[in-house]
Chain A
Amino acid sequence: MTSHMSSLSAVNPAPANPMPVLLPFQLGARQRRFPTWRATLLHGCGIVGLGLVIAGTAHAQSGPGQLSAIGVIIKWFPLLMSGFLFNVLISLLSMALGTVAGLGLGLGAISHNTLLRQVAWGITQFFRNAPWLVLLFFAMFMIPFQFTIFGTTIPFPDWVKAVIGFALPVMANMSEIVRGAVKSLPSGQWEAAESLAFSRRQTMWMIILPQCVKRMIPPWMNLYTLVAMATVQASIVGVTEMLTLIAQVHAAEGGRPDLLAPLYGFAMLCFFIYCYPIELWTRRLERRFHLHQ
């Protein structure tokens, strides 16, 4: 054994690296691998588990002459998917609108103009500390169903109002993300830019914000998954999205109680498959950002 070891070390002169400087790097690499592996396992378990719930209840409880739950889901699959895509569309539009508004609000919140800063701060705090569902109702009932500008009438259907309703909390959270990222940059960046005669606006757009983008992406993606999942609340205010369609499908199939779990399980599965990879990707970006700090 000893001779084997020594012959090995003769071939490879440094089996255990004698340079302690390299140790933290190796440790880092190991730490990095572990959560990804665990996450992938969790991911797999989640999907298989949900699948089993749906299939199990579907199979066990379908009576004679009735379509099994899986059969029901397959039959209505195109409709349910169109509902889900509508949820995705609402979430993307809310996110786009909220991000742009939140960027403006966040920049206002760090402005040197006291009035602007206080107003922006007030709006941010107000919309950040309100339940999303309340904001949704607020948007639904405060926004008229149509606008008339210069004689042309622009309709405002419910789903557009829902987009605005979800954009409000996105805006407030985005504002905080922007403010936090800007504040997290070392003050030396501002000083260097100032001593090179850059104006405050130039400094913000050319030096500060480009560096902030990297810091803002993980929390921004996190925010997106929250919005995507929140869109089902639109069913409460009468937008025909996935959850509404599931209730309709359930009614169309005679309101069988054995269909409830599989149908809602299917909705969960759709959101899970959509949001979980985003979540994983966010975590990977976060880790990469910490490693390169």
Chain B
Amino acid sequence: MAAAAPVTQNEFGWTPDQPLIRLVDVHKSFGSLQVLRGVSLDVRKGEVICIIGPSGSGKSTLIRCINALVPIDSGTIRVEGQEVNDPDLDKLALRRKVGMVFQQYNLFPHRTALQNVMMAPINVLKQNRKEVEVRARALMAKVRLQGKEDAYPGQLSGGQQQRVAIARSLAMRPDVMLFDEVTAALDPETVKEVLVTIRELAEEGMTCILVTHEMGFAREVADHVYFTDKGLIVEHGPPAEFFANPKDERTKAFLGQVL
């Protein structure tokens, strides 16, 4: 406690005391449709933030910008200091830091659950197959899918597939996980098993950005909640305050509808 540990900089001059993700005035249009109209937000290491808002307000676009699935028009996005909108972006370096889970799971249907988890570390990171397999089996156990290693995605329920998708992302050992409405396509019974997995991740200190419609979950797990409408962050705050007394009329109207 006495002497501060030497602050280690990464290759981009980023130190862990700075925000892990920093968005400054991000704009994005699809043709004439302005989807993001100046979004700024910071996410610190170990923080869990939830983004809520009406459908079409640009939530998916926002988190897709963070791992460069969608190129932005202006503003800056930095992940651990690495500038995402750099034309010479090292996408591999970025994407091994940022894991992403989708609403539709998007597992590779021609590969078993275990192979889905192992594919990227072996083929992208060129890691040793044996070591990857050990890790992949541990991840399958972590998402409570022991015994389903050899099942194909088509043989698994939606909730099980989604947990394989989470394990697949974790196998890259990311520093931050993006979740885009990952429970929206699930049966109510299986929503819980996926939320439990995400909660455990959050409790272990994984930095998470969640787009979600599960208000109860956001209230319990999030450190910070952002409300977006028409491409702008309208209001944000710690969940207790945010849900107890929203200030903006649009937030009130939205919460009134979903709660």
Chain B residues whose CB sits within 8 angstroms of the CB of A40 once the complex forms: none
Chain B residues whose CB sits within 8 angstroms of the CB of A193 once the complex forms: 108
List residues 186-203 of chain A with CB under 8 A from any CB of chain B: 186, 188-189, 191-198, 202
Cβ-defined contact, B106 with A188, below 8 A: yes
- We find that the number of chain B residues with CB closer than 8 angstroms to chain A is 25
Q: Knowing A189-B108, A206-B119 are in contact, say whether A196-B69 is a contact too (CB < 8 A).
A: no
The distance in angstroms between the C-alpha atoms of A184 and B106, with both chains bound, is 15
Q: How large is the interface on A (under 10, 10 to 19, 20 to 34, 35 or more residues)?
A: 10 to 19
Chain A residues whose CB sits within 8 angstroms of the CB of B95 once the complex forms: 194-197
A59 to chain B, nearest CB (A): 56
Cβ-defined contact, B120 with A196, below 8 A: yes
Chain A residues whose CB sits within 8 angstroms of the CB of B98 once the complex forms: 195
The distance in angstroms between the C-alpha atoms of A170 and B125, with both chains bound, is 39
Q: A211: CB under 8 A from chain B?
A: yes
Residue in B92, B102, B110, B168 whose CB lies within 8 Å of A197:
B92
List residues 85-109 of chain B with CB under 8 A from any CB of chain A: 91-92, 95-96, 98-100, 102, 104, 106-109
The distance in angstroms between the C-alpha atoms of A191 and B104, with both chains bound, is 11
Q: B1: CB under 8 A from chain A?
A: no
Cβ-defined contact, B120 with A198, below 8 A: yes
> Would you call the interface of chain A mostly helix, strand, loop, or mixed?
helix
A91 to chain B, nearest CB (A): 30
Cβ-defined contact, B102 with A198, below 8 A: no
Q: A210: CB under 8 A from chain B?
A: yes
Q: Mark A198-227, 1 if CB is under 8 A from B, else 0.
A: 100010001100110000000000000000
Chain A residues whose CB sits within 8 angstroms of the CB of B7 once the complex forms: none
Q: Mark A123-153, 1 if CB is under 8 A from B, else 0.
A: 0000000000000000000000000000000
Q: 15 other contacts beyond A195-B169, A197-B92, with CB at 8 A cut-off?
A: A186-B104, A186-B106, A188-B106, A194-B69, A194-B95, A195-B95, A195-B99, A196-B95, A196-B119, A197-B120, A198-B120, A202-B124, A206-B119, A206-B123, A207-B108
- Residue ranges of B at the interface with A (Cβ–Cβ < 8 Å): 67, 69, 91-92, 95-96, 98-100, 102, 104, 106-110, 119-120, 123-125, 165, 168-169, 172
When A and B form their complex, which 6 residue pairs have the shortest distance between CB atoms, in order from nearest?
A192-B106, A197-B95, A188-B106, A196-B120, A195-B100, A197-B124
